[in-house]
């Protein structure tokens, strides 16, 4: 890899080759998984390049194309599966300096890819009392480009569904990896070419997403003596069409009490928690519904608390999604997690059956979402990790019981997703990255077209060894 030639071609563009800094920027939250931690710990880029304009970005891509140098894009590196880790070394393309909000209008916002979600919301709220429909729980640190390329949904999904559902992204501009990089405008069905493609087939240079009214959201936590009651209540709450709700999660006891340290004094160790973000004007209606549940206990209601009491408490969404896992990991580093689908309409029965099967080895964590128009729940259960063999066994038992796993212990698109080739993304990679330089090792369909997804073997990218 001829880096000296590349560096001279990139004169005037911000670069970093200090080994420690490069290593630090080559990480994401892969260490959530003991499997990925073992496989990826040594991975590092050779150089971090930070373009500050689209022209600089295109120059970087053209130069890397000329010198056959791999390029791995990075927003802010909060992905969980090693998505932004450069398995073949080369250039780590740091997009964090492309962070401008470009245009705000009724119902939509356009930004550069590195814009941080919370910063976008601050500007859209100030501009016209609007906010992003969807954001991950890493709202305060993640970029919009990284969310679209690496995320799936999150806060807001109870109302708006997943990131890849029609309408949740309006348009993207994508730079290709060619001798003369092109800027392509994608909309409609074409968005599927690059949404959740881990930056393997183009660099997102502009994003347009829809906005929703910005309400004042109130955090509420309700406790129940059984997981089933908590899940039934959450499902009912999610189905209340008139209630403006932005987040709706269930976390099994004793996780909330043991790991939500700053909320601990409000939580009881034997209560399964339902975590809700509700619009202030809908709070009374939500509490009226809650009153119908005889075993419900409102443990925490930010609506009735003053600023002094709320000071220092994280927002409810930072107890949910993968922040639940993070809070558990901070107390018990042996914890890891799974991603589970409980198919509609039997989601509650299945949740209860699986919870009964594993007990406290796999404490339940449900995120209620609108999925194909129906309210249902995904699982991000915690796992009290003992060995990789047992982890595999736990996943196999879930699948046998009818709950498909989206494996968060794999770094490839396919193994973490539907375990099959995405022909649309693969075709776009052939067009937009013919040399295969973008984020190598993450798309099996490109690296090893003959890989048998039914073999139950884990894909191991050959270039991974070279990066060590």
Contact residues: ligand FAD, CB under 6 A: 28-29, 72-80, 83-84, 95, 113, 136-138, 142-143, 145-147, 149-154, 198-199, 203-204, 321-323, 326, 439
Is 195 or 296 the residue whose CB approaches ligand FAD more closely?
195
Least distance to ligand FAD, CB of residue 270, Å = 26
Among residues 69, 91, 99, 68, the alpha carbon closest in space to that of 22 is found at: 91
Q: How many CB atoms lie within 10 A of CB 204?
A: 28
3-state secondary structure 164-216: CCCCCCCEEEEECCCCCCCEEEEEHHHHHHCCCCCCCCCEEEEEEEEEEECCC
Compute the least distance from the CB of residue 272 to ligand FAD, in Å: 20
Between 201 and 235, name the residue whose CB sits nearer to ligand FAD.
201
In the complex with ligand FAD, which residue's Cβ is closer, 243 or 443? 443
> Measured at CB, which residue is nearest to ligand FAD?
146
Distance CA(424)–CA(432), nearest Å, equals 12
CA–CA separation, 169 vs 150, rounded Å? Answer: 14
Q: b or e along 9-35 (b: 16 or more beta carbons within 10 Å of the residue's beta carbon)?
A: ebeebebbeeeeebeebbbbbbbbbbb
Dist. CA 461–CA 88, nearest whole Å:
9
- Our CB check for ligand FAD shows the closer of 80 and 235 to be 80
Smallest gap from residue 234 Cβ to ligand FAD (A)? 17
What is the nearest approach in angstroms of ligand FAD to the Cβ of residue 45? 11
CA distance 358 to 259: 20
Please, which residues have CB within 8 angstroms of residue 24's CB and are 6 or more apart in sequence? none
DSSP H stretches of helix in 292-346 = 307-310, 321-331
Task: State the DSSP code for 151.
Answer: -
Of the pair 47, 204, the CB lying nearest ligand FAD is at 204
Structure tokens given for 338: 């799974």
Inter-residue contact 434 to 420 (CB < 8 Å)? no
To ligand FAD, the closest distance from the beta carbon of 260 in angstroms equals 14
Respond yes or no on whether the N-terminal peptide bond of residue 254 is cis (omega within 30° of 0). yes
Please, which residue, 306 or 372, has the CB nearer to ligand FAD?
Answer: 372
Instruction: Closer to ligand FAD by CB, 204 or 302: give it.
Output: 204
130 vs 339, beta carbon nearer ligand FAD: 339
Q: Is 272 helix (H, G, I), strand (E, B) or coil?
A: strand
Q: Cβ atoms within 10 A of the Cβ of 123, count?
A: 16
Supply the minimum distance, in Å, between the C-beta of residue 240 and ligand FAD: 22
In the numeric block, the tokens 């099996």 are attached to 444
Minimum CB–partner distance for residue 53 and ligand FAD (Å): 14
Residue nearer to ligand FAD on the CB measure, 95 or 426: 95
Least Cβ distance, residue 393 to ligand FAD (angstroms): 26
Q: Which is nearer to ligand FAD, 202 or 223 (CB)?
A: 202
Residue with Cβ nearer ligand FAD (251 or 296): 251
The dihedral over CA atoms of 346, 344, 152, 331, expressed in degrees to the nearest 10, equals: -10
Q: For residues 32 and 253, what is the distance between their CA atoms, to the nearest angstrom?
A: 21
User: What is the smallest separation between the CB atom of 79 and ligand FAD, expressed in angstroms?
Assistant: 3
Choose between 80 and 124: whose C-beta lies nearer to ligand FAD: 80
From the CB of 146, what's the least distance to ligand FAD, in Å? Answer: 2
Nearest to 92 by CA among 137, 27, 5, 140: 27
Least distance (Å) from ligand FAD to the CB of residue 408? 10
| Nearest-approach distance from CB 268 to ligand FAD, in angstroms | 25
Q: Name the residue among 114, 176, 175 with its Cα closest to residue 148.
A: 114
Per the DSSP assignment, residues forming a β-bridge with 95 are none
**C-alpha 181, offset from chain centre:** 28
């Amino acid at each position: 890899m001829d880096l000296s030639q590349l560096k001279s071609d990139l004169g005037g563009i911000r670069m970093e080759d200090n080994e420690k800094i490069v290593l630090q920027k080559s990480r994401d939250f892969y260490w959530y998984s003991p499997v990925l931690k073992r496989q990826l710990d040594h991975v590092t880029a050779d150089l971090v390049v930070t373009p500050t304009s689209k022209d600089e970005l295109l120059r970087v891509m053209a130069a890397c194309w000329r010198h056959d140098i791999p390029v791995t894009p990075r927003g802010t590196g909060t992905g969980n599966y090693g998505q932004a880790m450069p398995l073949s070394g080369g250039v780590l393309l740091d997009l964090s300096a492309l962070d401008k909000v470009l245009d705000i209008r009724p119902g939509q916002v356009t930004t550069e890819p590195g814009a941080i979600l919370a910063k976008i919301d601050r500007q859209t709220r100030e501009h016209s009392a609007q906010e992003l429909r969807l954001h991950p729980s890493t709202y305060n640190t993640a970029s919009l480009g990284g969310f679209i390329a690496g995320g799936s949904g999150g806060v807001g999904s109870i109302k708006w569904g997943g990131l890849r559902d029609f309408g949740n992204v309006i348009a993207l501009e994508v730079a290709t990896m060619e001798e003369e990089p092109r800027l392509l405008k994608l909309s409609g069905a074409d968005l599927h070419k690059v949404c959740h493609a881990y930056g393997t087939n183009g660099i997102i240079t502009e994003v347009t997403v829809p906005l929703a009214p910005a309400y004042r959201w109130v955090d509420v936590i309700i406790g129940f003596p059984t997981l089933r009651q908590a899940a039934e209540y959450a499902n009912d709450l999610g189905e209340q069409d008139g209630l403006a709700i932005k987040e709706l999660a269930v976390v099994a006891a004793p996780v909330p009490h043991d790991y939500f340290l700053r909320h601990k004094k409000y939580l009881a160790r034997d209560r399964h928690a339902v975590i809700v973000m509700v619009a202030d004007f809908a709070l009374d209606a939500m509490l009226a519904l809650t009153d119908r549940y005889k075993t419900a206990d409102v443990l925490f209601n930010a609506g009735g608390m003053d600023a002094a009491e709320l000071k220092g408490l994280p927002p409810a969404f930072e107890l949910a999604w993968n922040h639940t896992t993070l809070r558990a990991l901070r107390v018990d580093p042996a914890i890891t997690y799974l991603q589970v689908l409980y198919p509609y309409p039997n989601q509650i029965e299945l949740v209860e059956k699986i919870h009964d099967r594993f007990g406290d080895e796999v404490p339940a964590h449900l995120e209620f979402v609108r999925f194909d128009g129906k309210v249902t729940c995904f699982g991000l259960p915690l796992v009290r990790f003992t060995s990789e063999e047992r982890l595999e066994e736990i996943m196999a038992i879930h699948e046998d019981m009818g709950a498909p796993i989206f494996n968060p212990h794999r770094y490839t698109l396919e193994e973490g997703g539907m375990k099959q080739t995405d022909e649309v993304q693969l075709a776009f990679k052939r067009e937009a990255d013919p040399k295969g330089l973008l984020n190598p090792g993450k798309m099996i369909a490109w690296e090893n077209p003959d890989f048998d997804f039914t073999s139950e073997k884990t894909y191991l990218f050959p270039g991974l060894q070279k990066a060590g």
